[in-house]
């Protein structure tokens, strides 16, 4: 059977893993790193991916895109230079790069993949992820939930355990909570809850908004009108956010319009950070409580709390867990890596690998899925009510039926509107799609209509309507309202991505050093700046000259200079000047 790779397609970073010789292992990218920043940029009309694109975003924000996972399943476009992409296309660029890294590592072509998504991703977002896989030339064997993937790693390495785990997954843009029981190799997810627009980046944005306000600027105005200032501000806040791990107070410099640092500095204490992010922490609490309630678990019945996702490193998060569960969280496996490793374990399960033959795993549907119905109060009809067909936390795959009735005599038309959510009224839930029927048989009101929802292992929903009176069946795999989802559009997107010229891999590493050095320039005083700029110019000339010796000596000079200026270049994936 073909190799199936496991991919964690993250908001900020993506990783790839494979199940090999009885265990999951990570696949390094062309820079020898496991984490590839989910960033796409354009240099000289060629695409660059990963750390280089992330660095480019700081100096030339219009030439790079980040955080596009947050726009999966929507109509939003991203302009990079002269080209326009949607979120699945940009995700496809990342997936294509990871696929190529895997092929290089394994020494053969790779066609199949398991891709992880936040448990709280809705139908549109899951389909957009599947589409991204297709555009990248991958056959997406399974979409699995990120916390489920993390759980698989813990379950795989501890198959004899008998315990209850809570997985807290706070990534760059999404938050999921999952409760799971492991018993004699069987892994049973009992509940999942979360929010698909809450992650570490929200903490960074709050810091940036507060800091700009203290400096007398308006965040929205900066965000929309001053991209260079905004990009630099976010980078500085990201670094400051991490420093709270060992500092009580951080100083954040204020950049000017071009993104270059001024002398103005704003300090933020850890209490202030706690205060300005209190609303985000409150939002974290809700899904944790809901997951506990749904699986009828008390905090002290949870044996281990497992952290997943880079943002769980914030002490605000670990303190919150310690307070609620009265125990330290467990990070036996690197929170950045465990999801990709779990995707590889899932790939082994699909392939019936011997190493996982004793493992059985069940997952749940994280949210309720249902349709709009009209309620009758006395003689009054009131529409807009939500009738759940599949209740949240039902074990998947699941197929359930509800019977609804026509409202009028000889009613010929019916619109089955499909929603996801927990609210009583459909207006407060997310609309996923609709199924229109306009040939109902003539019949007095009250004719029964059977509505069946089937939710598969990938989290994709199919709706089926059966009219016993006419014997007719109608069905649809819900289509997204967002564009680029039909076959023609797909073909167009595949060709568009295939036609892109990618920056040569070997040159990319050097290009990244250049972009990194350029991103440091804005953080220096005028004298330091001049000397660094001279070295960057020489390095660029050497890079374009093709003279290996000349190139190597200028590269060394540049590396030494960066270190002496307090901005050592690390080929770390975060591209941070630490
Ligand atoms: P992920 O999508 O799992 O890679 O998570 C990325 C998020 O984790 C970003 O919002 C980062 O800012 C955040 N993050 C990573 N490391 C740290 C850290 N040491 N302290 C605070 N936040 C972090």
Give pLDDT, residue 572. Answer: 52
Give the C-alpha separation, 233 to 214, whole Å. 13
Q: CA–CA distance from 532 to each of 163, 275, 516, 562 (Å)? A: 56, 39, 12, 8
Task: Note whether 54 and 575 are within 8 A (CB).
Answer: yes
Give pLDDT, residue 478. Answer: 64
Give pLDDT, residue 348. Answer: 97
Q: Where in the chain is the domain with CATH 2.60.34.10?
A: 369-499
Question: What is the whole-number distance in angstroms between the Cα of residue 440 and the centre of ligand 1?
Answer: 53
Q: Where in the chain is the domain with CATH 3.30.420.40?
A: 4-198+281-364
**Measured from the CA of 335, which atom of ligand 1 is nearest?**
3
The string of pLDDT tens digits covering residues 127-154 is 899 999 999 999 999 999 999 999 999 9
Q: What pTM value is reported for the model?
A: 0.88
**Measured from the CA of 12, which atom of ligand 1 is nearest?**
2
- The residue whose CB lies within 8 Å of the most ligand 1 atoms, and thus the one to mutate among 11, 39, 172, is 172
Share of the chain above pLDDT 70, in %: 96
Nearest CA to ligand 1 atom 12: 200
Q: Where in the chain is the domain with CATH 3.90.640.10?
A: 200-278
The string of pLDDT tens digits covering residues 82-97 is 999 999 999 999 999 9
**Measured from the CA of 200, which atom of ligand 1 is nearest?**
10
Question: What is the whole-number distance in angstroms between the Cα of residue 390 and the centre of ligand 1?
Answer: 34
Q: Can you list the residues of the chain whose pLDDT is less than 50?
A: 481-484, 573-578
**Measured from the CA of 203, which atom of ligand 1 is nearest?**
10
Give the C-alpha separation, 49 to 40, whole Å. 5
Domain 369-499 fold is Substrate Binding Domain Of DNAk; Chain A, domain 1 (2.60.34)
Architecture field, domain 4-198+281-364:
2-Layer Sandwich (3.30)
Q: Is the dihedral of CA 256, 259, 261, 265 positive or negative?
A: positive
Question: What is the whole-number distance in angstroms between the Cα of residue 334 and the centre of ligand 1?
Answer: 12
- The residue whose CB lies within 8 Å of the most ligand 1 atoms, and thus the one to mutate among 33, 201, 311, is 311
Give the C-alpha separation, 562 to 575, whole Å. 13
Residues with a CB atom less than 6 Å from ligand 1? 10-13, 171-172, 199-201, 204, 238, 241-242, 245, 309-311, 313-314, 336
Backbone angles phi, psi at 265, to 5 degrees: -130, 140
Domain 200-278 belongs in CATH node 3.10.350.10: no
- The residue whose CB lies within 8 Å of the most ligand 1 atoms, and thus the one to mutate among 94, 310, 574, is 310
| Residue where the block lists tokens 């016993």 | 468
């Amino acid at each position: 059977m073909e190799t199936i790779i496991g991919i964690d397609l993250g908001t900020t970073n993506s990783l790839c893993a494979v199940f090999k010789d009885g265990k999951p292992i990570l696949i390094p990218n062309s820079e020898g790193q496991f984490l590839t920043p989910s960033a796409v940029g354009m240099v000289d009309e060629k695409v660059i991916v990963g750390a280089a694109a992330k660095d480019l975003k700081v100096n030339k924000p219009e030439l790079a895109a980040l955080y596009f996972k947050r726009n999966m399943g929507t109509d939003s476009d991203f302009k990079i230079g002269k080209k326009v992409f949607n979120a699945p296309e940009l995700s496809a660029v990342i997936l294509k790069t990871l696929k190529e890294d895997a092929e290089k590592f394994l020494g053969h072509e790779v066609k199949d993949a398991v891709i992880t998504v936040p448990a709280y991703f809705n139908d549109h977002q899951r389909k957009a992820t599947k589409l991204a896989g297709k555009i990248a030339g991958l056959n997406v064997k399974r979409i699995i939930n990120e916390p489920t993937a993390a759980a698989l790693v813990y379950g795989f390495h501890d198959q004899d355990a008998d315990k209850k785990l809570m997985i807290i997954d706070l990534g760059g843009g999404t938050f999921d909570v999952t409760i799971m029981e492991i018993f004699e190799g069987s892994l049973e997810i009992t509940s999942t809850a979360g929010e698909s627009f809450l992650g570490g980046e929200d903490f960074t944005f709050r810091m940036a908004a507060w800091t700009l306000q203290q400096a007398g600027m308006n965040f929205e105005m900066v965000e929309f009108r001053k991209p260079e200032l905004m990009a630099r501000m976010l980078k500085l806040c990201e670094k400051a956010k991490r420093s709270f791990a060992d500092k009580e107070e951080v100083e954040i410099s204020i950049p000017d319009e071009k993104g270059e640092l001024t002398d103005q500095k704003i300090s933020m204490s850890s209490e202030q950070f706690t205060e300005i992010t209190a609303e985000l922490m409150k939002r974290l609490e809700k899904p944790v409580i809901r997951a506990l309630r749904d699986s009828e678990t008390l905090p002290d019945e949870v044996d281990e709390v497992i952290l997943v996702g880079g943002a769980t490193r914030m002490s605000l998060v670990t303190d919150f867990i310690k307070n609620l569960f009265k125990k330290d969280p467990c990070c036996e496996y690197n929170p950045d890596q465990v999801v990709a490793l779990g995707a590889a374990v899932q790939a082994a399960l699909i392939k019936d690998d011997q190493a996982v033959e004793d493992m059985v795993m069940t997952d749940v549907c994280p949210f309720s899925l249902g349709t709009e119905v009209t309620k009758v109060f006395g003689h009054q009809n009131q529409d807009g009510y939500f009738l759940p067909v599949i209740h949240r936390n039902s074990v998947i795959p699941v197929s359930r039926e509800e019977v609804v009735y026509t409202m009028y005599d000889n009613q010929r038309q019916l619109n089955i509107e499909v929603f996801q959510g927990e609210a009583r009224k459909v207006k407060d839930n997310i609309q996923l799609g609709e199924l229109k029927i306009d040939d109902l048989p003539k019949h007095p009101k009250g004719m029964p209509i059977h509505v069946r929802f089937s939710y598969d292992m990938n989290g994709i929903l199919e709706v089926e309507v059966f009219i016993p009176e006419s014997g007719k069946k109608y069905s649809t795999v819900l289509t997204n309202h967002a564009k680029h989802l039909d076959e023609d559009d797909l073909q167009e997107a595949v060709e568009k991505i295939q036609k892109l010229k990618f920056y040569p891999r070997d040159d990319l590493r050097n290009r990244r050093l250049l972009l990194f050095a350029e991103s440091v320039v804005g953080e220096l005083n005028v004298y330091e700046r001049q000397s660094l700029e001279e070295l960057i110019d020489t390095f660029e000339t050497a890079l374009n000259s093709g003279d290996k010796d000349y190139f190597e000596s200028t590269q060394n000079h540049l590396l030494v200079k960066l270190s002496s200026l307090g901005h050592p270049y690390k080929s770390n994936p975060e591209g941070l000047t630490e």
